[in-house]
């Protein structure tokens, strides 16, 4: 009997060309599918809640797959972890209704962008924080972050080559917290465009440098012109924190 299994996945994206399978590159999805084949002797496609770019990390990425393997649903996590490299861990596995879809059932996501603000880069945290040498004005960053909250057309804050037509998204949380030398940008919303969080992070860094004001950020947002927004911050500072679902499986995972 075929059953649908939901996975909650943590990974360090440093060594991977992102989540999604692609030719001539090692990805997180491909690596997990390879581990599934080792366990089940079947070719199984897993479906993630969304893509992450090369170098981006995840604490609770969500995915699902269908299988008729006899392995108990809750045992897939431990079994897969024996086949996976140490930079990918399955945090949990469970059986869900066949109406659940990791991507289309998702109601929202939370991301964090980490900045290491110190003259010298961190040796220990170099793979998951963006290093900024000059001092950043945290209060200016906080004021700028608030401009992102609400329902807006984020055309100015997505990659220019995106093929998504509807660029309206609802951001419910956008805040800056600091425990220097670390500065953390946390953002939640019903969905995010390609490179959206990284462009927001680049804007916040420029705000901290006093190169852009909260008012200018609001004008750029209203103007919907990508060329007017600041640069895209490096991928390795970004982490997918959680994906939100409704119903029985509705806790943030």
Whole-structure pTM value: 0.94
**What are the phi and psi torsion angles at 186 (to 5°)?**
-115, 130
- Name the nearest CA neighbour of 212 among 114, 139, 131, 140: 140
Strands (E), the chain: 3-11, 47-48, 57-67, 88-96, 106-117, 130-132, 150-153, 168-179, 182-189, 238-245
Per-residue pLDDT of the chain in tens (253 residues, 90 and over written 9): 999 999 999 999 999 999 999 999 999 999 999 999 999 999 999 999 999 999 999 999 999 999 999 999 999 999 999 999 999 999 999 999 999 999 999 999 999 999 999 999 999 999 999 999 999 999 999 999 999 999 999 999 998 878 788 999 999 999 999 999 999 999 999 999 999 999 999 999 999 999 999 999 999 999 999 999 999 999 999 999 999 998 644 444 4
Catalytic residues, by residue number, are 53
In whole angstroms, what is the distance from residue 85 CA to residue 81 CA? 8
- Name the nearest CA neighbour of 188 among 176, 175, 171: 171
């Amino acid at each position: 009997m075929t059953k649908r299994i939901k996975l909650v996945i943590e990974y360090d994206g440093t060594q991977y060309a992102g989540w999604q399978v692609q030719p001539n590159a090692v990805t997180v999805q491909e690596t997990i599918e390879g581990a599934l084949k080792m366990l089940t002797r079947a070719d199984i496609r897993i479906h993630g809640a969304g893509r992450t770019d090369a170098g981006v990390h995840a604490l609770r990425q969500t995915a699902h797959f269908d299988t008729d393997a006899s392995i108990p649903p809750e045992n897939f996590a431990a079994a897969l972890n024996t086949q996976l490299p140490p930079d990918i861990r399955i945090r949990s596995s469970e059986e869900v209704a066949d109406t659940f879809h990791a991507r289309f059932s998702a109601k929202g996501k939370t991301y964090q962008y980490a900045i290491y603000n110190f003259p010298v880069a961190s040796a220990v945290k170099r793979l998951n924080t963006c290093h900024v040498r000059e001092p950043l004005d945290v209060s200016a960053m906080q004021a700028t972050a608030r401009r992102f909250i609400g329902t807006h057309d984020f055309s100015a804050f997505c990659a220019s080559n995106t093929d998504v037509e509807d660029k309206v998204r609802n951001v419910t949380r956008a805040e800056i917290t600091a425990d220097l030398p670390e500065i953390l940008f946390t953002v939640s919303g019903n969905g995010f465009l390609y490179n959206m969080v990284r462009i927001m992070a680049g804007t916040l860094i420029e705000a901290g440098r006093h190169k852009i004001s909260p008012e200018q950020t609001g004008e750029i947002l209203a103007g919907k012109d990508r060329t007017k927004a600041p640069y895209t911050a490096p991928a390795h500072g970004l982490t997918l924190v959680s994906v939100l679902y409704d119903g029985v499986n509705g806790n943030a995972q």
